[in-house]
Structure 1
């Protein structure tokens, strides 16, 4: 990832928090069939390894999992909120006019070599933990144990799990840190006033997130 110093994020806790908040990650691998990408919900075990370990599963019918041999690198991309930034928001536009559009965003890249597994009990533990994570906070959370065990067993035979010990972790918080204080304030105001949910979500992060270079 290209990371100018103003936007670079290296704080492990902040990177882990962003990964944990990511609903759907993009998993990219290079194998004998070429470059492959799948969109998967993942589970982070921050205590496992230097940078944590990611867990997820593929449909067994998805050939992507066969590229996770342990020899090839796998890249996981977790995207946070993003938004278009119009030059009209910059205070500098009225002063000198030397402004252009850009895009603000938050992203994390995790690199490592994955191992696959299909032991039923290990898969059951994984899907149970994933379900618990995403059902948390609901009035009547669904549990894997709510379904008949024979049905769950048939579903487990249809998936392949993987573990990705993270070897390298990169973050980029591009939140107008390279602009003047006046420009940053006007961008924050413009995003906050937007009708688009993602714009307001990024505005909230601009107001609460501090990264290296700010």
Structure 2
């Protein structure tokens, strides 16, 4: 059992080796598969470079946002409901509603504005928010870990997309070659059936 060649090795010998039974389309098919695999490996550094660039930009953005944004506590000035009183259909813990609130900026000034809170938040509820350098509400700064994860994900997706495109292209060509082989085999069987020397 251990001396038997693997399926891939047998396929290679049939299509790219010196097998006398291999047709020209078999050899072309095998070489196209080899090219697809090699190109998939070659584009890996390109995908890694793109991932590295995106990661670097994400880290720079994270540092910039972290240095200019800071957390604060806002207090709502009204109940956070977007529907008529008593109608809570469709309300979930993840539903956000804009509501008036007040907070203290880094310079000590009292600010009033609109912030998003969970629907159902009562008047006078303390809510954690993030403020920009001007003291206005903004989104949470991008974390470095998220920037690294995003860059890596983009790199992997690019590599997989290119690999899938190359493999899919080879597979379509492989199907065309298979159709050609079936036609040739059918003609060969028909020729053998007519040739009396085989009977």
Q: Specify the TM-score bucket, using the shorter chain as the normaliser.
A: under 0.3
Q: Provide TM-score, normalisation by structure 1.
A: 0.21
Higher helix proportion (structure 1 or 2): 2
Output the TM-score relative to the length of structure 2.
0.22
- Please identify which structure carries the higher strand content: 1
